[in-house]
Chain A
């Protein structure tokens, strides 16, 4: 197949506008799967993805389409993850495409997220094809959708294809439009090899299955390849296309999107965004845009009950086979026992890992407050990277502390500039500037401490821009800061799992927030409980839980005794699930409530 008959594209859509359903329909129409095997939303293969309606791992599928002009086309549908934490994956995926379908719901019109995603696609200079979906709905108003495509997206409304992914209407027209309107990839199969790795999966029998787009040259079995950034060499065993199943091919020429199996043992041996080249005929330089996926957010994960520790160990081992960005090492807490200190790409990544551990591995977990990694220089000149409050050195020995900054890029309609500037200022943003991307559309960049973004920044951003803001960031550098370790004391006993490293200016508010959350979730006990926030010996916040005064029931005669005993047996059983801190019983629900990151 010649390059002219290949199309690489993705679908950009608001969360409910039917992206996965449309993908399913395209797959079905091109005979990618028999009807009886058909499972809705094939591309979202993780349970979690199906449930949340988001794509976490990208999936790719190659479709063969016989067009009306008599030619056969190879359509590579590249699914993209939909969240900023996975932006490295999104970018790699988008880099593999020449075109994108912009999906608009005929009943809802253009929505904020569609606009936000469009900005990203435009950054990659993708050819955009508007698609109006859900035309079968009674509330569908394709004409209004067309107007909005014109006004809000700045695209040609008359190019828009009308479809109902649910009913399969308009799919043929869409496939024709993909072939006609989206450009084929460019590249030269005879040049030295450059293939971009944009995804990878682990197969228990074959090792790592690398998904890549060949930009230049040709990839084939027997070839010795080098991964240019990790600088490792392998011999290619097999290449092929991902037609839901792996379909072996003699080679992958320039422009092709497919898989490579090369006896790569673990997913940690490869890096998304790396460039594959030929050892015998190497490319002079790798493809641009490579960035190492480094964990930037850290949290300790503990099993709810200590006997689940082994299961947690196994689950993390397995999870990292397909999620190389997740790092973990042993950790322990006096209050919560043994656990793992884990590193994540961002808060959503943390969330996804937590949910997968709970759902796919049936574990109940406690997570400590997420932290960034600080750089601490001691008086004696030693430099330490600290992400765990329990490793925080004696403040007297610290010469300087630095924290990671990001360059946040926020794109939004002009009218939200004021509130976003305000938000960035509140989060200790520096050097905020904005530029007009087009009439009414503004990009604001701000240098923010990453720690400030960890707590509900993205939610706040979405709220204040009513969903029209898009957010992306890149790591910038480390800057000097004033951090303190805030401890939480329950009746003067430190609860190690609740300690946090916080900017000095925010320490009091954070401490008070924690104290109040605890006061609201720890049940009254026989004693008065003092809950304090402290920096060293200095108390900066305080709440009190008063002792309860009465719990005894009035009557206890013949018939009441069994009932009473059972009640107390149950209470005693419940206490086993409580964590004792000094003399105070803290239910797990209190840790869960306090450590929730939804509010700061």
Chain B
């Protein structure tokens, strides 16, 4: 569980210099003028979004947050009601990392730099439509190192069509050579409404088969574990607990968070809401003085419980049955004893005291683990304060 229950703040920066063919985020290419209008609106949104404060994480995600100037970053940090020990995360593309930019991000308070390296293989990078090559990635990492971020995180993508285990290991080796404190390794997911999705439908792109994807997924965890990394979540690895993503962990344990910027999601412990996806609609609402929210849902206790199960089983810390009893007044272990025993026998989970922890094999099937647990028939009688 995250070390604090204080909320997190997510800032969505929708700009990219070009749109990657696999990306389904709310992104847009934009000029300086558009960016400065966006920042103005962002600051206004922070003002009108009351409620949460004392954020102990601030995460700039995107899109490409490294397209914002450090002044913009600083302005957002100043406008938000941050805790004094707040950690600041910034996603950056390798081509945006220079000695100047890196040191300015440091000055602006960024403690974790998350580099969208994606690969160290030039062919893979060009397939992914990235604007950098392996040499750029290496240079960017070294530059970031010199700037002295507390945590350097690298994003990698595996499971490209035709990728072999050996090729992927070489990419991991190239990443490990930099001894990053944190790694996020995502399997390439082909979304329908992307260029890749279209190519797939047209039969021009052959998605990797399930068996090989599974092999790569398991190998990623084993390989990084051997290298001293803790695969604490399906796609996330850290060298030591202090380098885990304190911000992302809030998503996985239902800590409240505020999201600002187009398409950003917020959660207050009960209600989840999401902003307008389009930059223009988002700006219009803010111009009119209203929150740019396009939808929201209020979760009932069953839904909160289900989400807890789903999210916790994606982490190696697992699902704490005692915490569930305390929060929902439901003894999940008692009502799933037989299932849990069988899952243990199958080597998919371990029961560690009152904690159900997925094994690596269990992590690979976390979704169905979550759906196989029986929820109580009658609505929960919560202990929610």
Interface check A399, CB cutoff 8 A: no
Interface check A558, CB cutoff 8 A: yes
Give complex CA distance A569, B306 in Å. Answer: 8
Give complex CA distance A140, B371 in Å. Answer: 62
Smallest Cβ distance from B191 to chain A, in angstroms? 11
Q: Would A550 and B364 be within 8 Å (CB), given that A558-B257, A561-B311 are in contact?
A: yes
A552 and B366 within 8 A (CB): yes
Q: Which chain B residue lies CB-closest to A573?
A: B371
Interface check A565, CB cutoff 8 A: yes
Residues of chain B within 8 A of A564, CB atoms compared: 307, 310, 367
Pick the contact of B297: A550, A552, A559, A562 (CB < 8 A). Answer: A562
Chain A binder among B73-81, B117-125, B207-215: B207-215
Pick the contact of A565: B189, B264, B303, B343 (CB < 8 A). Answer: B303
A572 and B251 within 8 A (CB): no
Residues of chain A within 8 A of B234, CB atoms compared: 552-554, 556
A558 and B307 within 8 A (CB): no
Smallest Cβ distance from B90 to chain A, in angstroms? 16
Interface check A38, CB cutoff 8 A: no
Q: Which chain A residue lies CB-closest to B267?
A: A558
Residues of chain A within 8 A of B186, CB atoms compared: 554-555
Interface check B361, CB cutoff 8 A: yes
Pick the contact of A557: B217, B248, B307, B348 (CB < 8 A). Answer: B248
A554 and B314 within 8 A (CB): no
Q: Which chain A residue lies CB-closest to B314?
A: A556
B307 and A565 within 8 A (CB): yes
Pick the contact of B370: A525, A549, A562, A568 (CB < 8 A). Answer: A568
Interface residues of B in 297-327 (CB under 8 A from A): 297, 303, 306-307, 310-311, 314
Residues of chain B within 8 A of A571, CB atoms compared: 368, 371
A526 and B251 within 8 A (CB): no
Give complex CA distance A575, B371 in Å. Answer: 9
Q: Would A550 and B210 be within 8 Å (CB), given that A526-B346, A557-B248 are in contact?
A: yes
Interface check B270, CB cutoff 8 A: no
Interface check B363, CB cutoff 8 A: yes
Interface check B10, CB cutoff 8 A: yes
Interface check A124, CB cutoff 8 A: no
A558 and B259 within 8 A (CB): yes
Interface check A436, CB cutoff 8 A: no
A526 and B369 within 8 A (CB): yes
Smallest Cβ distance from A147 to chain B, in angstroms? 51
Q: Would A565 and B10 be within 8 Å (CB), given that A526-B372, A555-B189 are in contact?
A: no
Q: Which chain B residue lies CB-closest to A558?
A: B265
Residues of chain B within 8 A of A557, CB atoms compared: 248, 251
Interface check B263, CB cutoff 8 A: yes
A559 and B274 within 8 A (CB): yes
A550 and B310 within 8 A (CB): no
Interface residues of B in 350-385 (CB under 8 A from A): 361, 363-372, 375
Give complex CA distance A575, B361 in Å. Answer: 23
A558 and B371 within 8 A (CB): no
A565 and B214 within 8 A (CB): no
Q: Would A552 and B310 be within 8 Å (CB), given that A558-B10, A572-B371 are in contact?
A: no
Interface string of A533-567 (1 = CB under 8 A from B): 00000000000000111111111111101101101
Interface check A583, CB cutoff 8 A: yes
B251 and A556 within 8 A (CB): yes
Q: Which chain A residue lies CB-closest to B364?
A: A550
Give complex CA distance A569, B365 in Å. Answer: 16
Interface residues of B in 257-297 (CB under 8 A from A): 257, 259, 263-267, 272, 274, 297
Smallest Cβ distance from B224 to chain A, in angstroms? 15
Smallest Cβ distance from B263 to chain A, in angstroms? 7
Give complex CA distance A577, B311 in Å. Answer: 25
> Which of B348, B363, B371: most chain A CB closer than 10 A?
B371
A526 and B343 within 8 A (CB): yes
Interface residues of A in 561-591 (CB under 8 A from B): 561-562, 564-565, 567-569, 571-572, 575, 583
Interface residues of A in 148-170 (CB under 8 A from B): none
A551 and B368 within 8 A (CB): yes
A554 and B187 within 8 A (CB): yes
Residues of chain A within 8 A of B214, CB atoms compared: 549-550
B307 and A583 within 8 A (CB): no
Residues of chain A within 8 A of B211, CB atoms compared: 549
Smallest Cβ distance from A137 to chain B, in angstroms? 42
Give complex CA distance A565, B303 in Å. Answer: 8
Smallest Cβ distance from B275 to chain A, in angstroms? 10
Q: Would A550 and B272 be within 8 Å (CB), given that A559-B263, A561-B251, A562-B297 are in contact?
A: no
Interface check B252, CB cutoff 8 A: yes
Interface check B178, CB cutoff 8 A: no
Q: Would A549 and B189 be within 8 Å (CB), given that A558-B10, A559-B263 are in contact?
A: no
Residues of chain B within 8 A of A583, CB atoms compared: 342
Q: Would A552 and B267 be within 8 Å (CB), given that A526-B343, A527-B346, A568-B370 are in contact?
A: no
B251 and A549 within 8 A (CB): no
Give complex CA distance A220, B369 in Å. Answer: 75
Interface check B235, CB cutoff 8 A: yes
Residues of chain B within 8 A of A550, CB atoms compared: 210, 213-214, 217, 364-365
Residues of chain B within 8 A of A552, CB atoms compared: 234, 314, 363-367
Q: Which chain A residue lies CB-closest to B375?
A: A572
Residues of chain A within 8 A of B257, CB atoms compared: 558
Give complex CA distance A575, B234 in Å. Answer: 25
Smallest Cβ distance from A565 to chain B, in angstroms? 5
Q: Which chain B residue lies CB-closest to A549?
A: B214
Residues of chain A within 8 A of B189, CB atoms compared: 553-555
Residues of chain A within 8 A of B10, CB atoms compared: 558
Residues of chain B within 8 A of A555, CB atoms compared: 186, 189, 235
Q: Would A561 and B307 be within 8 Å (CB), given that A550-B210, A553-B367 are in contact?
A: yes
Give complex CA distance A554, B272 in Å. Answer: 21
B365 and A565 within 8 A (CB): no
Interface string of A383-412 (1 = CB under 8 A from B): 000000000000000000000000000000
Residues of chain A within 8 A of B348, CB atoms compared: 526
Give complex CA distance A562, B259 in Å. Answer: 15
Interface residues of B in 195-222 (CB under 8 A from A): 210-211, 213-214, 217-218
Q: Would A562 and B367 be within 8 Å (CB), given that A549-B211, A556-B314 are in contact?
A: no
Smallest Cβ distance from B7 to chain A, in angstroms? 12
Residues of chain A within 8 A of B303, CB atoms compared: 565, 569
Give complex CA distance A567, B368 in Å. Answer: 11
Q: Which chain B residue lies CB-closest to A559?
A: B265
Residues of chain A within 8 A of B369, CB atoms compared: 526
Q: Which chain A residue lies CB-closest to B245?
A: A557
Pick the contact of B272: A527, A556, A561, A569 (CB < 8 A). Answer: A561
Residues of chain A within 8 A of B266, CB atoms compared: 558
> Which of B265, B363, B368: most chain A CB closer than 10 A?
B368
Smallest Cβ distance from B39 to chain A, in angstroms? 21
Q: Which chain A residue lies CB-closest to B185?
A: A554
Q: Which chain B residue lies CB-closest to A571?
A: B371
Smallest Cβ distance from A255 to chain B, in angstroms? 70
Smallest Cβ distance from B172 to chain A, in angstroms? 16
Give complex CA distance A549, B267 in Å. Answer: 32
A549 and B342 within 8 A (CB): no
Give complex CA distance A471, B311 in Å. Answer: 63
Smallest Cβ distance from A554 to chain B, in angstroms? 4
Given contacts A551-B366, A556-B252, A561-B311, 6 further A-B contacts (CB under 8 A): A526-B348, A549-B211, A549-B214, A558-B264, A564-B367, A571-B368
| Chain A residues in the interface with B (C-beta under 8 A) | 525-527, 547-559, 561-562, 564-565, 567-569, 571-572, 575, 583
| Chain B residues in the interface with A (C-beta under 8 A) | 10, 186-187, 189, 210-211, 213-214, 217-218, 234-235, 248, 251-252, 257, 259, 263-267, 272, 274, 297, 303, 306-307, 310-311, 314, 342-343, 346, 348, 361, 363-372, 375
**Interchain residue pairs with CB less than 8 A apart (14):** A525-B368, A526-B346, A526-B365, A549-B364, A551-B364, A552-B363, A552-B365, A552-B366, A558-B10, A565-B303, A565-B306, A568-B306, A568-B310, A571-B371
Ranked nearest first, the 4 interchain pairs of A and B with the lowest CB-CB distance are A558-B265, A550-B214, A550-B364, A549-B214
